[in-house]
């Protein structure tokens, strides 16, 4: 129950704070760091529970709200997309292992 509550806090924080970033004034950087830290924490929690799709969403939110420059964020998102694509291609073309001759599909 506690894990589920923490997960929803990690989901709610970026959604609640995101629209108010421009109105934060001098505290904008602190707010972006808080959102980014919440998204990283949510990604770690999702990876620990083997929820990889949710973890990918949290990583995307962390990169979107990161305090880096726009160019850096674009290249980080592009690199993240390339790594995800590579992992999915490797998983799709992994050779199947069979234990015995009876396991081979006909």
Q: What is the pLDDT along the chain (106 residues), one digit of tens a residue?
A: 777 777 777 777 777 777 777 787 888 888 888 888 888 888 888 888 888 888 888 888 888 887 778 888 888 888 888 988 898 888 888 877 766 666 566 5
pLDDT at site 105: 65
pLDDT at site 100: 64
The model's pTM: 0.63
Separation CA 13–CA 82 (nearest Å): 27
For residue 22, the Cα-to-chain-centroid distance in whole angstroms is 23
Cα separations in angstroms, 83 against 19, 26, 31, 58: 29, 35, 28, 15
């Amino acid at each position: 129950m506690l894990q589920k509550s923490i997960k929803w806090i990690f989901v709610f924080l970026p959604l609640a704070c995101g629209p108010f970033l421009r109105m934060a004034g001098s505290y904008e950087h602190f707010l972006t760091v808080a959102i980014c830290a919440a998204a990283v924490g949510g990604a770690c929690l999702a990876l620990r529970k083997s929820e990889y799709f949710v973890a990918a969403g949290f990583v995307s939110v962390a990169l979107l709200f990161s305090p880096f420059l726009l160019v850096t964020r674009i290249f980080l998102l592009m690199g993240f997309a390339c790594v995800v694509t590579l992992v999915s291609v490797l998983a799709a073309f992994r050779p199947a292992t069979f234990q015995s001759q009876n396991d081979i599909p006909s």
